[in-house]
Structure 1
Amino acid sequence: MLMLTHEARLEALRAELARRGLDGFVIPISDEHMSEYVGAYAQRLGWLTGFGGSAGTAVVLADKAAIFVDGRYTIQVREQVDGRLYEYQSVPQTSPGAWLAAHVRPGMVIGYDAWLHAKPWADGAAAALKARGASLKAVDSNPLDAVWEDQPAPSPAPAVPHADQYAGQSVAEKRAQVAQWLEARGADAAVVTALDGVAWLLNMRGADVSRTPVALSFVIAHADGTADLFIAPEKVNPALVAHLGNAVRIHDRAAFVPALKAFGGKTVAVDPERAVAAVFHALEEGGARVLALTDPTVLPKACKNPVEQAGHRAAQSRDGAAVSRFLHWLSVAAPKGGETELSAAARLLAEREKTGLLKDLSFDTISGAGPNAAIPHYHVDEQSNRAIEPNSVYLVDSGGQYLDGTTDITRTVWVGPDAAPAEVKDRFTRVLKGHIALDQAVFPVGTAGSQLDSFARQFLWAAGLDYAHGTGHGVGSFLAVHEGPQRIAKAAGGQAGTTQGLLPGMILSNEPGYYKAGAYGIRIENLVLVEERAIAGAEGPFCGFETLTFVPIDRALVDLDLLTPAERAWWNAYHARTLALLAPQLEGADLAWLEAACAPL
């Protein structure tokens, strides 16, 4: 029987837990690869609760349940999840482990799926429960899967080669790089479980996760330069076999756990942030010596080589022209009324498709009108779809996947015909000033992203304002739109931040914002590339940012009195470069709009 209501699904899960002798269960948004975005088969939290965000966890006990989200989803979770069924909990103020410790009783057994959680989380939760006389138990199979009768199967899409002309390095070169890393650490092998890590190492792409071109698979890379790929047989084709060569052995995905258990007496490197607890359990059960180290593909993947950098510039230029055509259309159509969040998102997709090179969007377009723009990770659907009303704020955060690069851009515009209110212009201009300050930052090589975060917030802070998300995330090359380890975010007070130093070749977003719940939201986002910066007399190597994204910023929302002469100069220089880059790609009314939008202040 197909259970339609979320209340019925919750009750079915509780019945299954009771049948298995479990007093509770933890349900994250995750898959066997600790992915941020997961395939339809792994959308367990969404199926159970109705929550549509990309980060969150639920904890279900026999008599109560809670759902945990961070500041990006404070509004969204209340709109999508029934408060009669789940308590709303905010991260990092609390956590699933802390909530469990406060609600369990001695003797209770809480289940978790070791294929969906990192080992540090499992260790921490187990310790917290043990202190209360309860225990954490890894389940043999996920009880939610037992009650999800129409659960989709994992994607059968084929894995495909990613050409060296886009990757900039061959598979052999990358395997040799990892082999050197292993040799330096006295390790026999490294387990690579993150899907974008596998994709980067083997120059392989797929279509198994919405908006992220990866293939469900695992890799074990060896110190002799060879590798073992574990992937469903139906995903393998002659082109892939030829691409990988004889040094990459291909196995059924089902052989992964036995392979881990066969490392008895060997030293194996595994990333505790990116590999699930089950991987550690299998290695330890087989007698391997486990080194908890960052995945050796992470930093090389983050530091784009010259070919990848050039590809990004080309993709950003192409994408910028498409977004500009969309913004011109919006400037004409929206003030007339009749357009909606969905119709605008569809038009933007159509403009990107006109390039003839779009492979996919890089994430579901955030198309937010009026109060919906105040939800940082808003997802429009038929139920939430709102009209783009004249004399209102409209925010669109979107991106494209191209073979030569992944894009991500946010523009906030004022839909006329009247002038924007003074408060909206004040907030927008403070966000703009922060965006400019970060764009122009100069810093020693290795400066952590958390050390730069306040550059973007300072003008909002001066007015007693802030935003509840990070300022910048890493971006992949025809890979994940959110890529670690680099990040620009708060590090204090438990906020998600980063200690990773910024290195030449890393690509990040620059996206400060401001959100007034129930009214409007503002965000300005460009992508930037960390580059070496020559400074006369510098005592050591320094870096700055090369701007990659060029699309006009809406001058109708700028309070010119708040801009300094240097900030006006930045604006004029940015728009002069935008015009020079995009004008050859536009014509007619689109070109005329661009010329007006890029005119000096």
Structure 2
Amino acid sequence: MFQSFEVTARPEQGPPRLAALRHELNAEGLDGFLIPRADAHQGEYVAPHDDRLAWLTGFTGSAGFCAALQDVAGVFIDGRYRTQVKTQVASEFTPVPWPEVSLAQWLKEQLPGGGVVGFDPWLHTAGQLEQLAEVLSGSGIEMRACANLVDRIWTDQPAPPMAPAKVHPIEFAGESHEDKRTRLGKALQDAGHAAALITLPDSLCWLLNLRGADIPRNPVMHGFAVLHQDGAVDLFAAASKLETALDHLGPQVTVHDPATLIAFLGQLQGPVRIEKQSVPVILAEAFGDAAAFGDDPCALPKACKNAAEIAGSAQAHLRDGAALCEVLAWLDAQPAGSLSETQVVSQLEAARRKDNALQDISFETIAGTGPNGAIMHYRVTEDTDSRLEDGHFLVLDSGGQYLDGTTDITRTIAIGTPPEEASAAFTRVLSGMIAMSRLRWPRGLAGRDIEAIGRMPLWLAGQDFDHGLGHGVGAYLSVHEGPQRLNKVSHVPLDTGMILSNEPGYYREGAFGIRIENLLVVEDAPDLAGGDAHRKMLHWRTLSFAPIDRRLIVPALLDPAARTWLNAYHAEVAEKIGPRVSPVTKLWLDAATAPI
């Protein structure tokens, strides 16, 4: 398998580490300390050096934080992780349902007489602290910036990542970094901003057509950048990372020692745009009156892929789909009970490695069978590795980082004879996925306006799931990319070129899980034959191609339009993937894509 870079802690390691942290609280005169799953760049993913939350608590989810007080330590987790957290943290840590319970509300309940709570100003954004201070006003609770107390007690903390950057070829990027910088600089000028601070690693890499390896599974490098009106960039990153990229960057990109960043920012003449929800507090304060809050200038341009990025992604998905089909055919030939989850993971990762364009997997492969499938972001370990038994579902969620695109696909697979009730839930999940895939919608709508379409079949049966319907995906960048999402709270209008996942699911704790996921790209919808062009519409084009397990479908629960869509999709899978697989897999594929 690909090497795993996750920081892990067994539950029994949590109590002594928490005790050591509380010793530091006493030394600092603090009543508490916040431990987010974040680094100074505020991306979703962190390097092992920055995975303090996992080291302290054992919780390895991609979102959450801990508030460690003298007599209680709350681990705040959203709906995706409420099953997972139970198995990962010791009883000394108290899971807190978040965002239903806010940090400010919890602090006021735990510190009714007031207190001082420390935080690392590199790891919390200006927006987070502003909102927290507003709600805590009058409570007697003070937030105090301080050194990171976890770093003091983490004696074998991994070193900061220093992987070399590499140039992302123009054939895949589709636009030179000179043109990007000029275009975005002009947009800053038009908005009345002298410059913009860029903190997010994927924004930095997209802007400069660089890729890196500072974050496991995500081809990004750590650094900060200041983009000016004229397109010039001041780049703050370790010089050792950029030795082979200096000629590519050219004279308009000046490389600085990261240690000089705060002093440099203090000398800038404003207004300088900073994004309140991603800029660390310490950097926001460095600007003083020169700061002007606004959106990351790279976010939307990066999200709206150009023709080369879309074409590359489409090709990557065809090769990726062929690798997945080889594994699905192999899996189908194995008797129930003969395989373990780790064997499936190894087989799938080996199949993807046969593609020379593969750089890495795009996230830790999820292969959860039976009750493990109900853990939405399950990661198999030696302790949890389970056999695929008769009557189980296997949730197989995986993807690859290819030079021409990033993939993410999920299939739920029947092992032996599936239970009837679970098959009915599977069919509802499939109906929601198809409903979203077929959707046409007026330009200007955001994810929050349409995501219920993918939930409706489940809602009609009194069922639902606790994750978003879909997330944005990068072009050989982060597998989770903002700002676009199919989510109840996403207000960003969907636009042409955006790539998103479509992944409804259903999870019954202790029993089974279901998720079906394809990646889709937003396109202008063609005019309907004989229709009245009342307004401009958008629609999806599917990028992912692999069969959906027909054995789990209850045909009577599929409406005729959904059945027509599924048969057409399977015909396209057979046409596009069939020529790319082995003869044995081709026979399996023909049967797996037969009409229902």
- What TM-score, normalized to structure 2? 0.96
**How far 1:130 sits from its partner (Å)?**
3.3
Is the contact made by 1:129 and 1:136 (CA closer than 8 Å) also made in structure 2? Answer: no
Q: Which amino acid is the alignment partner of residue 49 of structure 2?
A: Y
| 1:94 lines up with 2:89 in the alignment | no
Q: Which residue of 2 aligns with 1:600?
A: 595
| 1:223 lines up with 2:221 in the alignment | no
2:88 and 2:13 map into 1 onto residues whose CA distance is 13
Q: Which residue of 1 aligns with 2:355?
A: 355
| 1:256 lines up with 2:261 in the alignment | yes
**How far 1:539 sits from its partner (Å)?**
2.2
Is the contact made by 2:336 and 2:415 (CA closer than 8 Å) also made in structure 1? Answer: no
2:114 and 2:540 map into 1 onto residues whose CA distance is 55
Q: Which residue of 2 aligns with 1:585?
A: 580
Deviation digits for residues 454-499 of structure 1, max 9, x if unmatched? 1111111111100011001000000010101111122xxxxxx201
**RMSD over aligned Cα atoms:** 1.3
Is the contact made by 1:443 and 1:543 (CA closer than 8 Å) also made in structure 2? Answer: yes
| 1:64 lines up with 2:72 in the alignment | yes
Q: Which residue of 1 aligns with 2:429?
A: 431
Is the contact made by 1:470 and 1:488 (CA closer than 8 Å) also made in structure 2? Answer: yes
Q: Which amino acid is the alignment partner of residue 250 of structure 2?
A: G
Q: Percent identity?
A: 44
Equivalent residue for 1:568, pick from 551, 563, 568: 563
Moved more, 335-344 or 109-118: 335-344
Q: Which residue of 1 aligns with 2:5?
A: none
Q: Which residue of 2 aligns with 1:326?
A: 327
1:307 and 1:343 map into 2 onto residues whose CA distance is 36
SS in 2 for 1:372: helix
Q: Which residue of 2 aligns with 1:274?
A: 278
**How far 1:87 sits from its partner (Å)?**
1.5
Q: Which residue of 2 aligns with 1:461?
A: 459
**How far 1:564 sits from its partner (Å)?**
1.6
2:466 and 2:346 map into 1 onto residues whose CA distance is 28
Q: Which residue of 2 aligns with 1:26?
A: 34
2:508 and 2:231 map into 1 onto residues whose CA distance is 53
1:70-469 equivalences in 2 (<5 Å)? 70-83=78-91, 85-139=92-146, 141-237=147-243, 239-263=244-268, 265-284=269-288, 288-333=289-334, 335-416=335-416, 419-469=417-467
1:289 and 1:38 map into 2 onto residues whose CA distance is 29
Moved more, 161-170 or 561-570: 561-570
Q: Which amino acid is the alignment partner of residue 294 of structure 1?
A: D
2:449 and 2:230 map into 1 onto residues whose CA distance is 39
**How far 1:105 sits from its partner (Å)?**
4.2
Deviation digits for residues 228-247 of structure 1, max 9, x if unmatched? 1111122121x300110010
1:565 and 1:124 map into 2 onto residues whose CA distance is 49
**How far 1:394 sits from its partner (Å)?**
0.6
SS in 2 for 1:38: coil
**How far 1:537 sits from its partner (Å)?**
2.2
Q: Which residue of 2 aligns with 1:35?
A: 43
**How far 1:336 sits from its partner (Å)?**
4.1
**How far 1:586 sits from its partner (Å)?**
1.0
Deviation digits for residues 530-553 of structure 1, max 9, x if unmatched? 000122422222100000001000
2:53 and 2:103 map into 1 onto residues whose CA distance is 14
Is the contact made by 1:57 and 1:96 (CA closer than 8 Å) also made in structure 2? Answer: no
Equivalent residue for 1:545, pick from 536, 540, 544: 540
1:527 and 1:273 map into 2 onto residues whose CA distance is 27
Q: Which amino acid is the alignment partner of residue 473 of structure 1?
A: H
Unaligned runs of 5+ in 1: 491-496
Deviation digits for residues 391-419 of structure 1, max 9, x if unmatched? 21111100100011000000001011xx3
Q: Which amino acid is the alignment partner of residue 272 of structure 1?
A: K
**How far 1:225 sits from its partner (Å)?**
1.2
- What TM-score, normalized to structure 1? 0.95
Deviation digits for residues 311-342 of structure 1, max 9, x if unmatched? 01000001000000010111112x34231111
**How far 1:223 sits from its partner (Å)?**
0.6
1:50 and 1:439 map into 2 onto residues whose CA distance is 37
Q: Which amino acid is the alignment partner of residue 348 of structure 2?
A: L
Q: Which residue of 2 aligns with 1:476?
A: 474
Deviation digits for residues 250-298 of structure 1, max 9, x if unmatched? 11111211111112x42100011222222211112xxx42111110100
In structure 2, the CA distance between the partners of 1:5 and 1:420, relative to structure 1 (3 Å rule), is: closer
Q: Which residue of 2 aligns with 1:498?
A: 490
Is the contact made by 1:97 and 1:124 (CA closer than 8 Å) also made in structure 2? Answer: no
| 1:15 lines up with 2:23 in the alignment | yes
**How far 1:26 sits from its partner (Å)?**
0.6
**How far 1:115 sits from its partner (Å)?**
0.9
**How far 1:518 sits from its partner (Å)?**
0.3
Q: Which amino acid is the alignment partner of residue 465 of structure 1?
A: Q
**How far 1:128 sits from its partner (Å)?**
3.0
2:210 and 2:29 map into 1 onto residues whose CA distance is 43
2:507 and 2:153 map into 1 onto residues whose CA distance is 39
SS in 1 for 2:245: helix
1:548 and 1:98 map into 2 onto residues whose CA distance is 43
**How far 1:58 sits from its partner (Å)?**
0.5
1:279 and 1:49 map into 2 onto residues whose CA distance is 28
2:186 and 2:81 map into 1 onto residues whose CA distance is 42
Q: Which amino acid is the alignment partner of residue 196 of structure 2?
A: A
2:592 and 2:355 map into 1 onto residues whose CA distance is 22
Is the contact made by 2:391 and 2:419 (CA closer than 8 Å) also made in structure 1? Answer: no
**How far 1:127 sits from its partner (Å)?**
2.8
- Paired residues, what number? 584
SS in 2 for 1:452: helix
Q: Which residue of 2 aligns with 1:493?
A: none
Moved more, 505-514 or 123-132: 123-132
Q: Which amino acid is the alignment partner of residue 438 of structure 2?
A: Q
SS in 2 for 1:546: strand
Q: Which amino acid is the alignment partner of residue 240 of structure 1?
A: A
1:338 and 1:594 map into 2 onto residues whose CA distance is 22
Moved over 3 A (4+): none
2:208 and 2:560 map into 1 onto residues whose CA distance is 49
Is the contact made by 1:109 and 1:136 (CA closer than 8 Å) also made in structure 2? Answer: yes
